Each structure stands twice: as C-alpha cells, then as structure tokens.
Amino acid sequence: MAAMQSEFPHVPTNGRALPAFLIVGWRWISRNPAVAITPVLLPFIFLYFLSLISPPSLLPLEVVGAMLFTMQNIGSWVLGDSAFWRIECSLQDMFVASPLSRIRYLFGIAISNLIAMLPALAILMGLLLWAGAREGTPLTPFAFLVLLACLGVLWVLFSAVGIGISSRIRTQREIWPIGNLTFTILGMLSPLYYPLSALPPLWQDAARFLPTTYAALLIQGALGITPASPAQMVFYAFLLVTCASVGLVIMLRLYRWGEA
Amino acid sequence: MATSMLVQGVLLIFVWILAPGLLGVAFVGAIIFSTFTMGQRVLNEAAYIRIDHKANDLYLAGPMSPEAYFLGMSTGILVVYLAPVVALGALAAAVVHFTLAQGLLLIALASVVWVFSASVGYVFSTFFRDNRAIWAYSSLFFNVFGVLPPVFYPFGLFPTPLHPVALLMPPSGAAAIAQMSLGITHLTSGELALAVGGLVVETVFVFLFAIYWARRTVRAD
C-alpha cells in the first residue's frame, strides 16, 4: 500500500464530475448537430401531424405532451450512452474503480443528456406560450412551476429507468430497439398527446399506473386545459411522487454497477 | 421486429383516438411507410456491420460482388421485417376492404418504395464513421420524409403550393397514388403523371446509383 502511495502520490479522490458530464453533453451536440435536431424535430413532426387531424383547441395539451415525451425520452438516451460507454468503450469499469458513486454517475449521464434536450424543451416552451395564449390557457407562474417540477421528476425517474435497463444489456445491437420500444410504449400508454377521457376504459386503467399520466394531468390542471380542483391537483402530485418513488426504487435495484 | 412498427403504431393510435374517420388512409400510409423505413434498417445494418464488426471487408474480399452484398442485405432485411407489414396489411384490408386490383397496386407501390429506400439506405450507410451518429441521422431522414408529407393523412390536407414536392417524394407520391385508387384523393392527370414518373425515375436512378456506389466504395477501400 505504501509502495502504491509513493508510486501514485497525487491520485485525486474527488472531482467535479457533474460539470464534466455537462461538457460531455455539450460536446456531443456541438459535434453532431443532428443529435440536437432529432429530439427537437420528432415532437414537432408529431405535433404537425396532430395539428392536421385534431381540433386546434387540443394544441396546448399536445405541446405539453411533447414536452413530457421529450423529457421521458432522455431515458432512452441515458440507456444508449451508458450501455455504449460500458460495452463499446469499457468506460464504466474506470468509473467503478474511481471514487464516483453510481448515483453521481447516473446524474452525470442524465445531465449530459439533458443538455441535448434543452433546445427542444426551450422551443416547445415558446410554442406553449403562444398556443396557450391563443387557446385561452395561458402559462401562469404557478403553471410554469408545476411544469418545471413535473419535468424534473420525470427527468430523474426516466434517467434511472434508462440506466437500470442499460446495465442489463449485453450487446450494442440491443440498445436502440430496447430503448425505443420501452420509452415509446411508455409514452403512448400515458395520455400525453390526448385527454385521458378520450382513451378506452381499459387503457385508462392501465395509464393510471404510470407516473407520466399524473404529470400530464397535473400540468393540464395547472394550465386549465383539463379542469381539476386544488384537492385533485394535490392528489395527482401525491400519485406522481409515489409512482415515481416506486419506479426509482425498482430501477435502482435493477441497476448493476460494479458487479456487471 | 416490434421496433419497426413503432412510428406507424404511434401515428395509428393518434388517428384511432383523435380522427377515426382517417383510419383507412393511415393504414395505407403505414404500409408504404413500413417499406420506406426498411431503408433505415439497411442503413443501420450496413453501417453496423462495417463499423463495428469490420465484416464488410471480409464479405467483399470473398467471391461476393458488391451489388450482391447490397442486394442480399436488402432482401434479408425485407424478409426479417416483412411479417409485421403483412400483419399490418391484413388489418388494413379489414378496415379499407380493398379490391384485388387495389391490393395489388398497393403491393407494387410498397415494393417500389422499398427498392428506393433500400438503395438510399445503403448509400447513406457508407458515409458514417461513428456508430452513435447513425441513429440520429437515419431517424431524422426517414421520419422527415415519411411522416411530414401526406403519407398517413389525405393528400388534400397538405399545403397546395407544395403538392408537386409531395408527389415527387417516393413515399408520399406512392401514398397519393394509393389514395387515388381508393377514391380518397383526386389527382389531375398531370399530378398522377408526376407521381408515377417521379416514383419510377427516382427509384431507377437511386437503385443504379447504389450499385455503382457499392462497386466504387469497394475500389476506394
């Protein structure tokens, strides 16, 4: 041990991991512009399609849905990055051997992917302000705070889902289909782009098990798109936090770190 | 296989919930879009085999010709992803009630779109140097050209000044011809000629270019 210390006398035992991951995220989008454009464009393609087939009054709801869907898709990106770094670059072994904990690693990858999603979220926020004003559901400071809180909860939850699943993936070819399938199905099951009441009864029951449903209902209530009393809003918030906590616990149990 | 139906599934759900009257159009569009996105699979597979496995060099060093490699891979991917398209076709037939001629026309149009997109996918795959960039660019290309133009919705809903552009894009051109055969969309004889001509000329050109490109990239290596 003493010999090792004399050989490596200045090995850092801590560091600014989160800012480093933030730079990784920025470098990723600055070097690959399509990476920044794709998450911006995909919700817009859906919104364009929806604007053709649905009543204009649903636009604010659909924009909120696109924001939640975008935030949920961070999970797919976290899954992709962590699996790629582990399988292709064998980088996770280095992090495991370092003082970085698995939770900080999770937040690091989540932050780096949040950077890539920020342009999409900023544009959708602008669109929500415009559509909300046009349809009589303006974005009040309260609604804005509710929106930010819900996006924050989903960011943490789905990043954990992404890293939890990624730690079980064995080959690179599984990354894209598993990520896409998981997060698209989760996004479609929740009433993100349509009101909950428009879904068939059985589907509504299934959607009530998903935290994204309560995030959508909470924001729709705060914006006045779907009427909700203060008691209902508190209830939705409670269910969102409860579902997200259960999901986090399950995913953190699934998440393999050193033993992989 | 399930992932090959994701976008179609999402859009069909949107239509089913928000505009059930357009379900027939959306199903026809989903079939054409499915064969169009097989090009994305060709792109992913060809790039993955070349970049990650380095197996491209191995195949091409053998007696296999470059065009046989491209066509073999495209056909293999067609076989893999055909089953969900057939299932989609069965659902579409239940909703739309095609006549035999309409069904055959739809199969012909979907096949031409497949040749076009497989050729584009193979050519594009040779431009990638990094596995991580493939998904972003290929998904961008195939979603923009497959979802924005009138493939899943009636041709008439697309802005009129852009009609010629839509007719010249193989997926939406094929969808417009299919919608016309079903009586959903009316095309003038000039528009029909533009759609058919565009589809045939672009497909033949891109297919021949893909064969040329396959040979050229082998020589470049």
Q: Which of A45, A53, A176 sits opposite B19 (nearest CB)?
A: A53
* pLDDT beyond 90 at B27: yes
Averaged over A45-74, what is the pLDDT? Answer: 90
This prediction's pTM: 0.82
Q: Which of B18, B22, B137 sits opposite A50 (nearest CB)?
A: B18
Question: What are the chain B neighbours of A38 within 8 Å (beta carbons)?
Answer: 136, 139-140
* pLDDT beyond 70 at B220: no
Question: What are the chain A neighbours of B2 within 8 Å (beta carbons)?
Answer: 177, 181
Averaged over A108-136, what is the pLDDT? Answer: 89
Confidence band of B214 (pLDDT split at 50, 70, 90): confident
Q: Which of B2, B14, B131 sits opposite A49 (nearest CB)?
A: B14
**Pairwise CB contact (< 8 Å): B147 & A38:** no
* pLDDT beyond 80 at A82: yes
Question: What are the chain A neighbours of B143 within 8 Å (beta carbons)?
Answer: 41-42, 45
Interchain contact B44–A (C-beta under 8 A): yes
Q: Which of A41, A54, A193 sits opposite B140 (nearest CB)?
A: A41
Confidence band of A2 (pLDDT split at 50, 70, 90): low
The four Cα atoms A212, A192, A43, A121 give a dihedral, to 10 degrees, of -50
Domain count, chain A: 1
Interchain contact B147–A (C-beta under 8 A): yes
**Pairwise CB contact (< 8 Å): A34 & B2:** no
Q: Which amino acid is at A225?
A: I
Q: Residue A185's pLDDT is what?
A: 85
Closest CA to B166 of B142, B187, B145: B145
Find, in chain B, the residue whose alpha carbon is nearest to that of A188: B10
Confidence band of B52 (pLDDT split at 50, 70, 90): confident
- Assign 3-class secondary structure to chain A: CHHHHHHCCCCCCCCCHHHHHHHHHHHHHHHCHHHHHHHHHHHHHHHHHHHHHCCHHHHHHHHHHHHHHHHHHHHHHHHHHHHHHHHCCCCHHHHHHCCCCHHHHHHHHHHHHHHHHHHHHHHHHHHHHHHHHHHCCCCCHHHHHHHHHHHHHHHHHHHHHHHHHHCCCCCHHHHHHHHHHHHHHHHHHCCCCCCHHHCCHHHHHHHCCCHHHHHHHHHHHHHCCCCCCHHHHHHHHHHHHHHHHHHHHHHHHHCCCCCC
Interchain contact B54–A (C-beta under 8 A): no
Find, in chain A, the residue whose alpha carbon is nearest to that of B4: A177
Q: Which of A45, A52, A88 sits opposite B157 (nearest CB)?
A: A52
Average pLDDT of chain B? 87
* pLDDT beyond 80 at A157: yes
Instruction: Give domain status of residue A207, yes or no.
Output: yes
**Pairwise CB contact (< 8 Å): A172 & B52:** yes
Instruction: Give domain status of residue A5, yes or no.
Output: no
Q: What is the pLDDT of residues B103-151, one digit of tens each?
A: 999 999 999 999 999 999 988 888 877 776 777 777 778 888 888 899 9
Q: Residue B68's pLDDT is what?
A: 85
Q: What is the pLDDT of residues A9-43, one digit of tens each?
A: 565 566 677 787 888 777 777 777 766 677 667 77
Q: Residue B33's pLDDT is what?
A: 93
Instruction: Give domain status of residue A259, yes or no.
Output: no
| Mutation to test the B interface, candidates A44, A53, A81, A109, most B Cβ within 10 Å | A53
Q: Where are the domains of chain B?
A: 2-220
Query: Cα separation of B205 and B210, whole Å?
Result: 9
Q: Residue A11's pLDDT is what?
A: 58
Instruction: Give domain status of residue A12, yes or no.
Output: no
Instruction: Give domain status of residue A95, yes or no.
Output: yes
Q: Residue B150's pLDDT is what?
A: 93
**Pairwise CB contact (< 8 Å): A53 & B18:** yes
Averaged over B154-162, what is the pLDDT? Answer: 91
**Pairwise CB contact (< 8 Å): A54 & B18:** yes
Q: Residue A6's pLDDT is what?
A: 58
* pLDDT beyond 80 at B58: no
Structural domain of A193: 17-254
Q: Which of B10, B15, B148 sits opposite A48 (nearest CB)?
A: B148
What would the DSSP string read from start to end of B60-109?
A: HHTT--HHHHHHHHHHHHHHHHHHHHHHHHHHHHHHH---HHHHHHHHHH
**How much is the ipTM here?**
0.82
